[in-house]
C-alpha cells in the first residue's frame, strides 16, 4: 500500500512544530510547542511527524517545489512549452526569486528545514530502538538534503542551519543571524546527510503503507544527481576532474544499490507511469490517490485532467508541446531528422518513422490516442479555413497535445480524480546521470553502455549495435549526445530547464529565438465532401500528403518577448532578495548581482 498521509494527526504534528512569533531569524525553537517526549515516545507517533515532513517536501508534478522558482512549471522555461515568463524575457529583478524566504514561516524553505531539524533532534533523544530510530532519522536527513539542494541550485551557497536555534526574543536576535556558507560547504553537507541516509535506510521497505518511503537507493540516486550538478559547468566552469570523479562514484553506487534491490528500466516507456506500487523504475515517487478512505483524504494529481484536450469534454488542454520539441525527436534508427539515410525526414509527414517515444509523448493531428476508455480515439487539431475543428474555446495553438502519463483507460467521468503518481527520479535518470558522470571522467565506454540501454528500451533500432549513436564520439560530443538523450527520454518531467541551466546553455539554446507551433490547415480544394465523417478510417499518410498544408507559427509574442527570448547570464545564480538581507544582515549578495559572495567557491 502507498505511504499513508494521516491528516488529522498531521495537523497535530504541524501545530506542535510551527514557528510561534519569530519572524526574522532563520530557525528558532518554539518553547510553547508540544512535549517532545510525547511525540517521540514510540515509532508510531514519530512517524506521524515524519509523514508531515513527507507531505511538506515531496515535489508535485514536473518536480515543482511550490516555492519561489518552483511555482513555475519548468517546461515553460525551456523549449518544451511556450508561455510568458520573466525568466526568459530577461526582466528578473533582485526581489523576484524568493526561494530563500523573506520571513519565517512553516512553508518556506527554512521553515521546512526547521521542522526537519527539530525531528532530527527529537529522534536522536528518543527511546525508540536503534534500528527504527535510525531509519526515521535517515528519511529526515534525506529531506534536509533535498531542501538545501533546492536552495543551492538557485543561489549557490546558503546558510547551513543544522540544529534548531534556541534564540528567542529581540535580545538574542542579532546572535541568531547566520552567514552564508560556501557553495562547496553546502554540497559537502548535502552529501554527508545523504551518506548517512544511505547507511540508515533499507533497500526496500516491507509491510503495508510503505510504498513511497525513501529507500537507500533513492538517497544514493539523489546524491548522484546533486554531485552531477556540482560537476556541471554552472558550478564547475574549470572542469575540475575531482568533481566529475565524485559524481561518477556516486552514480555507480546508486546504480549498484538500486539494481541489487530490484530496480531497473520498466519494460514499457509509457506504461511505467501507471504501475502503482512496486514500480521497478520509480526511485523517488510522490504518491497520489483517487479516493478518500478512513485514514487519508483524496489526493488527485490534477496533471492528467489539466493536460487532456478541452474539446474531449474533460481536461484543460495545457502543457502543449511546441514544434521546437516535436521536431527534435530522432528517427526510428536513432539518427536526428535529416541525418538518417534509412528514414528520410519529410516535413509534410513529420510523424513518420520517429523514435517510438515520439508517439508515446506527442499527440498530433490524426494520431490514434486512446482517451476516456476509447481505444480507437483519433485526435484532430487542423484548421478548416481559420477555424479549428476542435470544438472548444481552448484549442491547442501548437497543433500538439502531451500524452505522456495520461491514463488511457480512465473514463471521462473519473478524469478529475486520476491518482497517477509523480516519479521524481526514474531509474532511466540514474542511468543517464551515470552516463554523464562517466563521460566527465573520460569513461566513454560506460557512457555508451548506458545510452544504448535507454535507447534499446525505447525501441530504437539497434543498427550497427549503437542504436543510432555516432561511433567514436569525443568527450564533448558525448556530453551533447547525453543532453540530447535527456531531452527526449525525460521530456516534460521537469528536467530540461535545469539541464540547460546547469550546463549554461540557456543562451545558446533559447536566446534570440521565439518558440513555434505548427498550423495544419485543411485544403479548400480536392478534399472529399465527407472528410469530416470518414477521416478516422482514412490512411493517415494519404491524408497528410493530399489534404493538409503545414506551416510554422510563432508562439512567443512581441508583447511578452519584445527582444525574443533573452535569458541573462546573471540568472545562473539568482539574487538574494533585499528583504532577506534586511532581515539578516549577515547575508551577502552574489557577485553576479553586485555583491561580494562568490557562488563558485
Quick: pLDDT tens for 35-69: 777 899 999 999 999 999 999 999 999 999 989 99
For residue 167, what pLDDT is reported? 53
For residue 17, what pLDDT is reported? 41
For residue 32, what pLDDT is reported? 42
Per-residue pLDDT tens digits for 512-558: 999 999 999 999 999 999 999 999 999 999 999 999 999 999 999 99
CA angle 112, 69, 588 (to 5 degrees): 75
For residue 336, what pLDDT is reported? 98
Average pLDDT, stretch 462-482? 98
Average pLDDT, stretch 230-256? 98
Q: What percent of the chain has pLDDT over 70?
A: 91
- Output phi, psi for 595, to 5 deg: -110, -170
> For residue 396, which of 326, 304, 491, 318 has the smallest C-alpha distance?
318
Check pLDDT > 70 for residue 29: no
Structural domains of the chain in order of their starting residue, each with its CATH number = 201-301+421-494 (1.25.40.900), 313-418+516-554 (no CATH)
pLDDT bucket at 207, cuts 50 / 70 / 90: confident
Check pLDDT > 80 for residue 280: yes
Average pLDDT, stretch 111-118? 95
Cell of 546: 493530399
For residue 104, what pLDDT is reported? 73
Least confident of 308-312, 320-324, 368-372, 567-571: 308-312
Burial of 476 (0-12, 13-18, 19+ CB in 10 A): exposed
**Mode of pairing for the β-strands spanning 282-286 and 422-426:** antiparallel
Burial of 594 (0-12, 13-18, 19+ CB in 10 A): exposed
Average pLDDT of the chain, as a whole number: 91
Check pLDDT > 70 for residue 350: yes
User: How far apart, in whole angstroms, are the C-alpha atoms of residue 211 and residue 276?
Assistant: 9
User: How far apart, in whole angstroms, are the C-alpha atoms of residue 319 and residue 273?
Assistant: 17
Cell of 89: 524575457
For residue 19, what pLDDT is reported? 33
Q: In this predicted model, which residue has the larger pLDDT, 166 or 66?
A: 66
- Output phi, psi for 515, to 5 deg: -70, 150
For residue 311, what pLDDT is reported? 83
User: How far apart, in whole angstroms, are the C-alpha atoms of residue 503 and residue 282?
Assistant: 26
Average pLDDT, stretch 567-576? 98
Average pLDDT, stretch 179-205? 98
Per-residue pLDDT tens digits for 394-405: 899 999 999 999
Check pLDDT > 80 for residue 365: yes
For residue 470, what pLDDT is reported? 98
Check pLDDT > 70 for residue 34: no
Q: Do 360 and 402 touch, CB atoms closer than 8 A?
A: no
Average pLDDT, stretch 204-208? 91
Check pLDDT > 50 for residue 166: yes
Least confident of 222-231, 403-412, 543-552: 403-412
For residue 4, what pLDDT is reported? 54
Residue 425, strand partner residues: 284
Average pLDDT, stretch 235-239? 98
**Strand, coil or helix: what is 425?**
strand
Per-residue pLDDT tens digits for 9-28: 444 444 444 333 333 434 44
Sign of the torsion angle spanned by Cα atoms 134, 140, 141, 142: positive
User: How far apart, in whole angstroms, are the C-alpha atoms of residue 586 and residue 33?
Assistant: 28
User: How far apart, in whole angstroms, are the C-alpha atoms of residue 138 and residue 132?
Assistant: 10
pTM for the whole structure: 0.93
pLDDT bucket at 308, cuts 50 / 70 / 90: very high
Q: In this predicted model, which residue has the larger pLDDT, 22 or 178?
A: 178
pLDDT bucket at 314, cuts 50 / 70 / 90: confident
Check pLDDT > 50 for residue 129: yes
Amino acid at each position: 500500500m502507498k505511504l499513508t498521509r494521516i491528516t488529522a494527526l498531521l495537523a497535530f504534528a504541524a501545530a506542535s512544530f510551527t514557528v510561534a512569533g519569530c519572524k526574522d531569524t532563520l530557525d528558532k525553537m518554539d518553547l510553547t510547542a508540544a512535549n517532545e517526549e510525547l511525540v517521540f515516545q514510540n515509532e508510531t507517533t514519530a512517524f506521524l511527524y515524519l509523514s508531515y515532513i513527507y507531505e511538506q517536501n515531496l515535489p508535485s508534478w514536473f518536480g515543482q517545489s511550490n516555492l519561489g522558482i518552483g511555482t513555475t512549471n519548468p517546461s515553460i522555461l525551456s523549449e518544451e512549452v511556450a508561455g510568458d515568463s520573466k525568466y526568459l524575457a530577461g526582466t528578473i529583478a533582485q526581489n523576484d526569486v524568493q526561494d530563500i524566504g523573506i520571513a519565517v514561516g512553516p512553508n518556506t524553505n527554512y521553515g521546512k528545514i526547521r521542522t526537519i531539524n527539530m525531528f532530527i533532534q527529537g529522534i536522536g533523544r528518543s527511546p525508540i530502538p536503534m534500528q527504527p530510530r535510525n531509519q526515521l532519522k535517515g528519511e529526515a536527513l534525506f529531506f534536509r538534503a533535498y531542501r538545501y539542494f533546492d536552495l543551492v541550485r538557485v543561489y549557490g551557497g546558503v546558510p547551513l542551519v543544522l540544529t534548531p536555534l534556541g534564540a528567542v526574543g529581540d535580545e538574542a536576535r542579532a546572535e541568531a543571524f547566520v552567514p552564508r556558507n560556501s557553495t562547496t560547504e553546502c554540497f559537502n553537507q548535502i552529501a554527508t546527510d545523504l551518506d548517512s541516509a544511505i547507511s540508515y535506510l533499507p533497500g526496500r521497505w516491507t509491510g503495508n503503507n510503505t510504498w513511497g518511503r525513501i529507500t537507500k537507493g533513492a538517497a544514493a540516486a539523489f546524491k548522484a544527481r546533486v554531485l552531477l550538478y556540482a560537476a556541471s559547468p554552472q558550478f564547475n566552469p574549470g572542469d575540475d576532474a575531482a568533481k566529475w570523479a565524485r559524481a561518477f562514484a556516486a552514480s555507480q553506487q546508486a546504480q549498484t544499490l538500486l539494481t541489487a534491490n530490484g530496480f531497473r528500466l520498466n519494460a514499457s516507456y509509457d506504461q511505467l507511469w501507471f504501475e502503482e506500487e512496486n514500480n521497478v523504475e520509480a526511485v523517488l515517487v510522490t504518491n497520489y490517490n483517487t479516493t478518500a478512505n478512513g485514514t487519508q483524504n483524496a489526493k488527485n494529481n490534477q496533471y492528467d485532467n489539466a493536460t487532456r484536450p478541452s474539446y474531449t469534454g474533460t481536461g484543460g488542454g495545457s502543457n502543449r508541446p511546441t514544434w521546437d520539441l516535436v521536431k527534435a525527436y530522432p528517427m526510428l534508427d536513432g539518427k536526428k531528422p535529416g541525418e538518417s539515410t534509412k528514414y528520410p525526414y519529410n516535413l509534410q509527414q513529420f510523424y513518420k518513422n520517429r523514435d517510438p517515444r515520439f508517439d508515446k509523448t506527442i499527440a498530433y493531428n490524426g494520431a490514434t490516442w486512446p482517451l476516456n476508455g476509447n481505444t480507437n480515439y483519433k485526435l484532430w487539431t487542423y484548421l478548416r479555413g481559420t477555424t479549428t475543428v476542435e470544438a472548444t474555446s481552448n484549442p491547442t495553438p501548437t497543433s500538439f497535445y502531451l500524452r505522456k502519463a495520461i491514463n488511457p483507460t480512465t473514463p471521462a467521468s473519473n478524469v478529475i480524480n486520476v491518482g497517477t503518481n509523480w516519479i521524481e527520479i526514474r531509474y532511466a535518470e540514474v542511468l543517464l546521470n551515470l552516463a554523464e558522470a562517466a563521460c566527465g571522467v573520460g569513461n566513454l565506454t560506460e557512457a555508451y553502455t548506458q545510452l544504448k540501454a535507454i535507447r534499446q528500451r525505447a525501441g530504437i533500432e539497434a543498427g550497427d549495435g549503437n542504436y543510432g549513436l555516432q561511433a567514436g564520439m569525443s568527450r564533448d560530443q558525448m556530453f551533447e549526445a547525453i543532453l540530447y538523450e535527456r531531452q527526449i527520454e525525460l521530456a516534460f518531467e521537469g528536467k530540461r530547464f535545469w539541464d540547460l541551466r546547469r550546463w549554461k546553455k540557456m543562451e545558446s539554446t533559447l536566446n534570440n529565438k521565439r518558440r513555434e507551433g505548427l498550423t495544419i490547415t485543411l485544403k479548400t480544394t480536392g478534399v472529399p465532401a465527407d472528410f469530416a465523417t470518414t477521416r478516422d478510417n482514412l490512411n493517415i499518410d494519404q491524408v497528410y500528403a493530399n489534404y493538409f498544408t503545414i506551416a510554422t507559427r510563432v508562439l512567443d509574442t512581441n508583447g511578452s518577448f519584445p527582444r525574443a527570448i533573452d535569458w541573462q547570464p546573471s540568472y545562473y545564480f539568482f539574487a538574494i532578495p533585499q528583504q532577506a538581507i534586511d532581515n539578516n544582515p549577515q547575508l551577502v549578495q552574489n557577485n553576479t548581482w553586485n555583491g561580494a559572495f562568490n557562488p563558485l567557491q
